[in-house]
Amino acid sequence: SFMFFLKFIQLLDKKNFIVWQRYKTNRSYLQECQQSDFHPSFKEITAKYERYWFGNRLLNQSGFESLQSDFLDFFKKIGYNGK
C-alpha cells in the first residue's frame, strides 16, 4: 500500500494538483486539493491508507485489493493512463 500511496502523491505532483515537499503531511496535500473535483476520493483513499500504515493494521489480501482498486479508479479519474 505504501508504494501505491507514493505513486499517488507523485502523480498528483506531476499533474500539478499538489506541490510535493518532503516534510508535508497528508493533511497538507488534502488542503491543497480541497477545491478539486477529486477531493472526496483523495480524502477517502488517504484515510484508508493511514488506517493501515499508521494504525498498525494488517493489510490482508481483500483489504489490499480494495485499496488497489481505489487507487486505480482514482488514477483513471484524473486522466492517468500509466505513462
pLDDT in tens, 27-75: 999 999 999 998 999 999 999 888 888 887 788 899 889 888 988 888 8
Is the pLDDT score of 7 beyond 80?
yes
Cα–Cα distance between 35 and 49 in angstroms, integer? 21
pLDDT of residue 31: 95
Q: Are 67 and 1 in contact (CB under 8 A)?
A: yes
Query: What pTM was estimated for this model as a whole?
Result: 0.81
